[in-house]
Structures are given as C-alpha cells and as structure tokens.
Structure 1
Amino acid sequence: MLSTMQDVPLLISRILTHGSTIHGTSQVTTWTGESEPHRRSYAEIGARAAQLAHALRDDLGVTGDDRVATLMWNNAEHVEAYFAIPSMGAVLHTLNLRLPAEQLAWIVNHAADRVIIVNGSLIPCSPCCCRI
C-alpha cells in the first residue's frame, strides 16, 4: 500500500531501515527501574532486530503467517522484537504480563502462537516453556 505522501510502501521494515541508516548513531534509551538506563543506537537495534528475525526464521521455522508472542518488560529487547517480528512478515502478539499463567495459556493456545519470547525474569509467569 502506497501513501499519498511518498512513493514507497509504509512497512515496519522500511521504518527500521530508515532509522538504522539515517539516524544510526541516535540513541534509544530504555529503563526498567532496576539498574542504570540502557542505551543502544538505532543501528544496533536494527542489527539486533535482523538477528532475531533470522533466528526466528532459520532456527525456529517461523514464517510470514505465524504468530510470535512476547511476554516481556518494556525494554530494549522488546523494542527489537517489535521491529523484528513484523519486519519478517510474522504477526506480533504481545501478552499482558499481569495476567495469571492459566489465562496466558488460554490466550496463547487460542491465538495458536508458534513461538513465545519471554524475558528471563518472567519465566515463572509464562504459560508454557517447551524450549528455552
């Protein structure tokens, strides 16, 4: 789909490429409240998002029609997943980390998520951990 203001498709992958190329040295700062703020450049986020997308595709067999759930804090790694998953054509399915494991399990099964990406500190809350 083309916009009325530019002659290229409006894709998440284009936003990531633009940010990595044009604003590569600009910093993205995240802070979870546990330690010092975490800083990465747009170029680093782009490279790490590409690594994640390749790992999901090559190691876990995720394709463009699959759903990938995230059970993560609002941190740098979650930003990378937000770029990586839709950029590869898969569906990003964010899970509410405040829900109990039983409800998360129902949601994951109902959505037919192929993969769940979980922050290490949230593993006890995760609905199922088949492969860590």
Structure 2
Amino acid sequence: MKKIMFVGAFVMGLTSLFAQELKLEKEEIAFGNLKLNTEVTSKMKVTNTGDKPLILKSVVGSCGCTVPEYPTTPIEAGKSADIVIKYSTGGVKGDFNKSVTITSNDPVASRKIFRIKGSAE
C-alpha cells in the first residue's frame, strides 16, 4: 500500500514539475499618499516560469474601486505579461488596503493574491 501511495505521489509531482507556473513580480503595489477623487494606474508583471502556456482565467479586484485589465491570450513558457490596475480613491479619506485575486491554470497555486495599499487625503 505504501508503494502505491509513493508511486502516486511521485507521478503527481512529475506532472506539476513540467507545467505552467505563475510568478508575480512583487506581492503588493504601494501607491503612497493620494488626493481624494483621484484615479491612478499601475502594472503588475506576471511571468510564466513553467514550460507550458499559462492561462489567466480571471483577475478580480476586491471592490469596484480596483479595476484590473489582464491578457486573455496564453502566456507562453518563459514569457511575461502585464496586468494593468486602475484604482480610484473616490471621496473616501484614509488608508486603503485592497486585494486583486488572479485565478490561472497553474496546477500548484491556481490562485494568487496581491495587495494594493496607500492613503487618500
């Protein structure tokens, strides 16, 4: 029984070894101090460090003030693409800490989250 479990784990490990893998350039975007009713834009570089095409299935902001735009075509092995993030402070004063969730076909970590932080005055 132990042999069967070991072989199964080994085969599963091999399939993910030669697959697509999503790597983020950084874990957060820091906008610093912004004025109220301001819209700012930044980019998050996504790299496919695997050897099969990476597909971004969805990229979603945690609220309507955070709007991501992402590539809908596969990111080839070893290549990178940008996710463009637009953030609007609106009329809300104070610190903000929002998230953007990326869902992909990465077999090991199909969901990655990065943060958007700053302050509106």
Instruction: Report the TM range for the smaller structure's normalisation.
Output: under 0.3
Query: TM-score, with normalisation over the residues of structure 1?
Result: 0.25
Higher CA-based Rg: 2
Greater percentage in helix:
1
Higher relative contact order (CA 8 A, sep 6+): 2
TM-score of the two chains, using structure 2 as the length reference: 0.26
